[in-house]
Amino acid sequence: MKITEKNILKSLLKHSESISITDLSTLMNCDSDTLSYYLESLIAKGLIQTTRRPFSEEIRYSPKRFEDLYYALPIARDYIKMIDRDYLTFLFTAIAALMSALTLIITIVIPLLS
């Protein structure tokens, strides 16, 4: 899976609970160092938050007890929709620009051919 903000947010939104960076990196098939840069960027944008792993007897002596858990905020769904809308807006603007350029060329060339 390609690492993008959109894919990271979708992966976090799929999980109902918080997920650690190691679990997320195995889920997305990427290294955790690159993923951590994206996660820090998303934290700075206010789209995800971190929390500490709650205490549990199973992980009492495990290094997992020090891991941060990440979860997406509800505003992340709106952010994904905004990214999709921006892409569609760009696409339609590009099509409109091509059509207007084609119209301009046709209006200049047709009188010259007559």
We report the CATH number of the domain holding residue 86 as: 1.10.10.10
Q: What is the mean pLDDT of residues 29-53?
A: 88
Instruction: Give residue 54's domain range.
Output: 5-113
Number of domains in the chain: 1
Is the pLDDT at 92 greater than 70, yes or no? Answer: yes
Mean of the per-residue pLDDT values of the chain? 86
Residue 30: per-residue pLDDT = 87
CB 84, CB 9: distance < 8 Å: no
DSSP for residue 80: H
Rounded-to-integer distance, Cα 86 and Cα 92, Å: 10
Residue 103: per-residue pLDDT = 95
CB 70, CB 19: distance < 8 Å: yes
Helix (H, G, I), strand (E, B) or coil at 73: coil
Q: What is the mean pLDDT of residues 30-54?
A: 87
Is the pLDDT at 16 greater than 90, yes or no? Answer: no
Residue 4: per-residue pLDDT = 87
CB 97, CB 45: distance < 8 Å: no
Is the pLDDT at 63 greater than 60, yes or no? Answer: no
Is the pLDDT at 53 greater than 80, yes or no? Answer: no
Residue 21: per-residue pLDDT = 86
Residue 1: per-residue pLDDT = 67
